[in-house]
Amino acid sequence: MPQASTPDATPTRDTDHLHLRGGGTSLLLDCAGDRLPRVLHWGADLGELTDEDVDQLRLALRQPPRAAGTDGEVPLALLAEQSSGWMGTPGLTGHRGGNDFSTLFTVDGIRRETPAEPAVAEQVTVAASDADAALDLELVLELLVSGLVRLRASVTNTGDSVFDLHGLEVNLPVPTEADELLDLTGRWGRERAQQRSAFTHGTHLRENRKGRALDAALVMAAGRAEFSWRQGEVRAAHVGWSGNTRVYAERLSHGTGLLAGGELLLAGEVALHGGQTYTGPWVYFTHGEGLDEAAGRFHGYLRARPQHPPSPRPVQLNVWEAVYFDHDLSRLQRLADVAASLGVERYVLDDGWFGSRRDDTSGLGDWVVSPDAWPDGLAPLIDHVHGLGMQFGLWFEPEMVNPDSDLARAHPEWILAARPDRWPVEQRRQQVLNLTIPEAYAHVRDQMLAILREYRIDYIKWDYNRDLIEPATQGTGRPAVHEQTLATYRLMDELIAAQPGLEIESCSSGGGRIDLGVMARCVRVWASDMTDPLERQLIEQGTSLLLPPEMVGSHVASPVSHQTRRTTGLDLRASTSFFSHMGIEWDITTASPEDLDRLRGWIELHKAHRELLHTGTVVHADHPDDALWVHGVVGTDGAEAIFAVAALRTSPLTVPGPVRLPGLDPDRRYVVAPLLPDGDARARRGGSVAWWESGVTLPGRALGTTGLQIPHLNPEHQVLLHVRAA
């Protein structure tokens, strides 16, 4: 159940409008009257506005009477209400014994302030109440330094009887010009694939009811038809929550459209007793000319936070695809030796080090070092890794348990289940541990802390490998996803507080838990279990709509993909991981000396450029041939950039045509040259492309609008281009 909270002092109001500006964004709120604020404008900066300008804009936007409709206007507030005449999805749904299903909130006060948090430019708090429904509402709206807007709502039951809350969702409007929607879908190994649909009348709704989502919408964007990475006005929403979520786009027949989102609450999950408060997650809203600018506001916000991971990000080796469950000390030490010789900076021991965990059928939940696999404990490996100058990371899956485990046998009542005699269907031979039970939470926390205190652990790979099916507390039968999510956050927070400097990666069968709620605690995501570099190109494209490259783990895997069985060359595998948080997922003890030398060169090249790659602006070209994928990173000062051109498949064209390099300073001159390790001679083989061997010098405007020819690329090949100011 949500915990009771004490509301802040009632804000005061001294204006009928608020104009928030920052990061190229204007958010103009109409606060006239006693109803919840409405948005007059959200989007590109309007510049300075006088009071008279706002009055005139309010007049210019006043709706005419509509046939067969309500008398007067139907305003859309930050939280939509049916009492205003809004007949779309209401922002608050619920009831009190069948009553008070429709609210009419009146504003008690509005407070505007500048928070101390460096990533936040301005904050507005709206306090409102509905005395008849015995509910108080608080809306907190923040304009972030990057131009993002985030909004969340809290509702408090001020009555004596229980209020059964079904949903609490906030929104911002989108203009009528937005006639196309983009969101993402996927499955294991193919996460975050883009899908588009027309933005017509009605509701386009994406829900996650599984507690995690390999098919998560991630963002929902609305814009002009055929909006692209570089062109078209775009607005998008993201729900920053790691449990169940709802995000939707809606347009009514009178033309008003919106993007909205919040937590998806299961039936009976939140029943507010007198004095109790439910606070919804932050919902983030972005805009831009093209997806690049809209995504860049997410990147800018994440990088402005004090907890953002510092650059450079360490190149890491994860041993999963090298050894799986075969934990042999000498073999793992040999992997560490080879990794250190390549320049790897972090070594991560994956699943299989604890309890009876020799495969995925048992031991999960018993977070004690296995005396069978590790008779001398983990110290021999950890000391060896640290002695080589590398950090050490360890895999955990704290929220899960195998039925075949000491924990499940001792405490079957700690498993999330609708009934004690009916556990949910198994997934990956595991169940979910109910962290809302204090004793279960303490058990996991204490076992993890014992490991972290006994050994020098720099990094946790935090996995989460099954859906939350029938997620309830045994005995009560009450759904528990909301409280389970808060408990997971609390567990991460406690571990980080207890072990300063500890870093956590969010992994969930790969990319099943990627959101700005978990990223308040994690420095990195494992974008997908798919390590085939061709598949990774599209997965990381979708991921970039939310996260900057330094927060996305991408590894150089073995020549034959463990997932697709496709064979790819080392240069493609390395250059694909080059832009992100680079790592290795490969038994490098089996690699040839030539491949090791080549991989060492790629790691050295990445280290030489990762400051640029992990701080610069991410850009994508709108290339007309979808067989080619063109993306890059441009330095914040515009002096340098690196681009990749990948051939994903065969092209219908024998000559691909000029490739444009977006995002460069149009008035600056740049030298463009191929980029490969050690200035490799292969980088100079351009066939009939005249400029390839000597490079070419052109203004940024020409490179961005005319472009340049690249060599013919066979499928599954990629070239990198280094662009620097002349």
- CA dist 251 → 83, 137, 205, 233 (Å): 18, 25, 12, 17
Amino acid at 166: H
Amino acid at 700: G
CA–centroid distance for 660 within its chain: 28
From the candidates 30, 100, 463, 515, give the one annotated as an active-site residue: 463
Report residue 392 as tokens.
């050490």
d(CA 249, CA 394): 41
Reported as half-sphere exposure (CB side, CA atoms, 13 A), residue 243 has a value of: 21
Amino acid at 416: L
Q: Can the peptide bond before residue 312 be classed as cis, meaning omega within 30 degrees of 0?
A: yes
Report residue 169 as tokens.
């969702």
Task: Please give the radius of gyration of the chain, using alpha carbons only, rounded to the nearest integer.
Answer: 27
What would you measure as the largest C-alpha separation in the chain, in angstroms? 81
* Three-class SS state of 265: coil
From the candidates 529, 532, 571, 665, give the one annotated as an active-site residue: 529
Report residue 75 as tokens.
């305003």
Cα distance from N-terminal residue to C-terminal residue, the chain? 62
* Three-class SS state of 342: helix
Reported as half-sphere exposure (CB side, CA atoms, 13 A), residue 233 has a value of: 10
Report residue 50 as tokens.
């006088």
Q: Are 214 and 186 in contact (CB under 8 A)?
A: yes
Report residue 486 as tokens.
């808060």
Residue 45 annotated as catalytic: no
Q: Are 481 and 471 in contact (CB under 8 A)?
A: yes
Closest CA to 683 of 693, 670, 691: 693
Beta bridge partners of 511: 508
Length of the chain: 726
Residue 51 annotated as catalytic: no
Catalytic residues: 463, 529
